[in-house]
Structure 1
Amino acid sequence: MAHYKYHQDEEDTGPSKSELKRASHALQDLGQELVALGKERLAKVPMDEDLRDAVKDYQRFPSHEAKRRQLQYIGRLMRNVDPAPIRAALDAFKGVSAVETAKMHRLENLRTKLIEDEKTLHDIAVAHPGADLQQLRVLRRNAIKEKEQNKPPRAYRELFRILRELEDGTAGEADEHEHDEAGDEE
């Protein structure tokens, strides 16, 4: 009967060796994602300075073996850190880029549809009442000419930029700002 009691006490001591190993691997995977980030995104991730320095050191190391050892060190440091805010920041980066990619594809499709059919201007006018339809019409015409004459796609790119500004709600702000500055000079 004492054997049974010992076995029961053993279960109450905490996570199993397998659970600890899985948690350790999860932290190493998180560390792997951190070292793959660029400087700007890395700066936005909430973490202590020791971990941030270790990640920056990893990124500087040229040797595979040095990187392997540094990644193990990062894994050890992560045992003392709450991984939830780091995971949330990394997930936000993934979500933002997925949303941005979808938005870019939607705008590219709208631009293609506009170039193929001028009636798309009506849809744009309904969705964005402040849109400068004359400017869009001129850019559409120029984009078609550029393609026919194998010229650089300046109007094609400008069309995308304006559609993006309309979608973001920033269309015309630069023009208004320039107008304000011109008014200040008088």
Structure 2
Amino acid sequence: MTRARDADSGDFLGPSRSEQRRAALDVLALGEKLVALSPTQLAKLPIPETLLPHIRETQRITSHVAHKRQLAFLAKQMRREDDATLDAIRDGLDAGGAAARREAAHLHRVESWRVRLLADGDAALAELLAAHPGADRQRLRQLVRNTAEERARNKPPHAFRELFRELRELLAQDEAATGGEAEAAPDADD
């Protein structure tokens, strides 16, 4: 069987069988990576809801032959998704990918603000509120006081963690509102 050609240019109309096979094997390898992930890791990826049951089913099967067959079925389902969806999943899996870099930068900004709030107190809180007017001043001030008290009494870091969660949520809301263009937290050395 020969591949169809464009009558005017003589170019092939579709990918060769070798290209199709390479693409299918690439999707199969992506499926293997997804199956190896924990539910928490899967939840962080932009995986369509239609694929999640197939991934879970493949993870559940332990028999080698049945697992291989289910993995092939998962890859078939994944090939039905558009290239943009598969590229987004690959980017999410890539430790050096844009999504991972954005998430790491976001967490660094949150941690930087937490350190500033604990070190500089009201001065840092005033800067944070100026940069993020939607913040709850009382809540943040209370969390900073509770964290200082926890440290002084050598207690478990409940308020410390709660402060991090509160800041993460605040910065995420502001980044979503500004389209991801959040300012960096000022350095503690300033």
Is the TM value for this pair above 0.5? yes
Larger of the two Rg values belongs to structure = 1
Per the alignment, residue 157 of structure 2 pairs with 153
Paired position in structure 2 for 1:142:
146
- Residues 22 and 107 (structure 1 numbering): CA distance in 2 closer, same or farther, change over 3 Å? same
TM-score normalised by the chain length of structure 2: 0.59
Structure 1 residues without counterparts, runs of 5 or longer:
1-10, 171-186
Contact in 1 for aligned 2:143/2:160 (Cα 8 Å): yes
Q: Which residue of 2 aligns with 1:110?
A: 113
Mapped contact 2:147–2:159 kept (Cα < 8 A): yes
Q: Percentage identity across aligned positions?
A: 38
The aligned counterpart of 2:128 is 124
Task: Give the whole-Å Cα distance in 2 for the aligned partners of 1:133 and 1:43.
Answer: 34
Residue 124 of structure 1 deviates from its aligned partner by 0.8
Work out the number of aligned pairs and report it.
156
Q: Which runs of 5+ in 2 are unaligned?
A: 1-10, 175-190
Matches within 5 A, 1:38-117: 38=39, 45=48, 54-75=54-75, 77-78=76-77, 81-84=80-83, 86-91=85-90, 93=92, 98-117=101-120
**Conserved? CA contact 2:46–2:88, under 8 Å:** no
Render the CA deviation track for 1:61-89: whole Å, top value 9, x for unaligned: 023443233323444x3597354254155
| Kept after mapping to 1: 8 A contact 2:45/2:92 | no
Deviations 1:99-158 (A, max 9, x none): 344322311221012112223123112112354445433432331231132102222123
What is the RMSD computed on CA atoms of the aligned residues? 3.8
Aligned-partner residue type, residue 84 of structure 1: D
Query: Structure 1's 155 and 55: CA in aligned 2 closer, same or farther, altered over 3 A?
Result: closer
> One-letter code of the match for 2:114?
R
Counterpart CA distance in 1 for 2:87 and 2:57 is 23
Give distance in 1, aligned partners of 2:173 and 2:45: 29
Alpha-carbon offset, residue 90 of structure 1: 1.7
Q: TM-score, normalised by structure 1?
A: 0.60
Structure 1 pair 149/127, CA: closer, same or farther in 2 (3 Å)? same
Q: Secondary structure at the match of 1:115?
A: helix
1:34–1:158 CA distance, 2 compared to 1 (3 A): closer
